[in-house]
């Protein structure tokens, strides 16, 4: 896969089209309502700083938390938003988030920040920033999981770090486009030698023993949780890791 193929695949996904369309609407509203351009710039700056911190918190303590699968009414949510992705990290059907989950989250993170700084214009500016950031985040996520070897040093590095999160030790490198929060909170590791291989890297702790106690995710899956991805994807991952190391 080359960059053109990846970009075409990225833009054909409905969630990306929805993010881009809503970002455009929010940006138009922001520009039409804004009267204080200093606050406009401040909102963009603050929203851009808050977003990776918020994502880090969600990723580490919610998506990798071991409490959503323990309740029958949240098991399906956890399965869709993260468990399936770790069970088979290259499966395109779960590479992107569900709009029903991502859009309320983006709004909850960005709208209050913008409103506190500049009211309604600020809220629209922050929302547009969050949606645009999400588009970039998902594009990087495509690079990290699809069969594409980036030539750019930045994209190659974040791919290596993210693949380590998926295939070596899931309790670190929670970032996607920025690993500064990982550095700040002590969860960053630059290569696999720094940490032992985790036995839960593919099942996030929801192993067969846990599935017997909390069966709802296993029932939805139709089979016991795997402790490794399908063999074809495992081979592809080995190739990816060697390509970016």
73 φ, ψ (degrees, to nearest 5): -85, -10
Over its length of 245 residues, how does the chain's per-residue pLDDT go in tens digits? 899 999 998 999 999 999 999 999 999 999 999 999 999 999 999 999 999 999 999 999 999 999 999 999 999 999 999 999 999 988 878 888 889 999 999 999 999 999 999 999 999 999 999 999 999 999 999 999 999 999 999 999 999 999 999 999 999 999 999 999 999 999 999 998 999 999 999 999 999 999 999 999 999 999 889 877 665 444 444 444 343 33
Three-class SS of residue 168?
coil
Residue 234: which H helix or E strand, with range? helix 231-244
- pLDDT at position 177 is 94
Q: Do the Cβ atoms of 24 and 109 come closer than 8 Å?
A: no
Q: Do the Cβ atoms of 125 and 34 come closer than 8 Å?
A: yes
**How far is residue 8's CA from residue 115's CA, in Å, rounded to a whole number?**
35
Q: Do the Cβ atoms of 15 and 120 come closer than 8 Å?
A: no
**How far is residue 145's CA from residue 102's CA, in Å, rounded to a whole number?**
19
Structure tokens, 237: 């991952």
- pLDDT at position 231 is 59
Rg (CA), the chain: 19
- pLDDT at position 64 is 97
Domain boundaries, the chain: 3-244
**How far is residue 119's CA from residue 239's CA, in Å, rounded to a whole number?**
49
Structure tokens, 200: 């839960």
**How far is residue 51's CA from residue 55's CA, in Å, rounded to a whole number?**
6
Q: Do the Cβ atoms of 64 and 142 come closer than 8 Å?
A: no
Q: At what angle do helices 153-167 and 99-145 cross, to 10 degrees?
A: 110
């Amino acid at each position: 896969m080359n960059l053109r193929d990846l970009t075409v695949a990225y833009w054909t996904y409905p969630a990306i089209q929805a993010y881009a369309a809503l970002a455009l609407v929010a940006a138009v509203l922001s520009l039409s309502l804004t009267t204080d351009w200093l606050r406009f710039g401040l909102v963009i700056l603050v929203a851009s700083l808050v977003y990776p911190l918020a994502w880090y918190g969600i990723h580490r303590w919610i998506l990798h938390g071991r409490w959503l699968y323990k309740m029958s009414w949240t098991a399906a949510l956890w399965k869709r938003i993260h468990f399936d992705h770790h069970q088979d990290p290259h499966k395109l059907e779960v590479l992107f988030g569900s709009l029903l989950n991502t859009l309320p989250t983006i709004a909850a993170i960005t709208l209050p920040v913008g409103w506190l700084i500049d009211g309604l214009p600020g809220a629209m500016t922050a929302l547009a920033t969050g949606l645009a950031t999400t588009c970039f985040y998902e594009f990087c996520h495509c690079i990290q999981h699809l069969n594409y070897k980036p030539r750019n040093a930045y994209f190659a590095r974040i791919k290596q770090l993210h693949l380590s999160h998926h295939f070596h030790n899931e309790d670190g490198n929670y970032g996607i486009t920025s690993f500064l929060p990982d550095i700040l909170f002590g969860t960053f590791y630059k290569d696999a030698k720094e940490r032992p291989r985790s036995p839960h890297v593919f099942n996030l702790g929801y192993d067969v023993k846990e599935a017997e106690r909390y069966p709802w995710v296993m029932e939805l899956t139709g089979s016991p949780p795997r402790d490794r991805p399908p063999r074809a994807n495992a081979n592809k991952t080995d190739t990816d890791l060697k390509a970016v190391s």
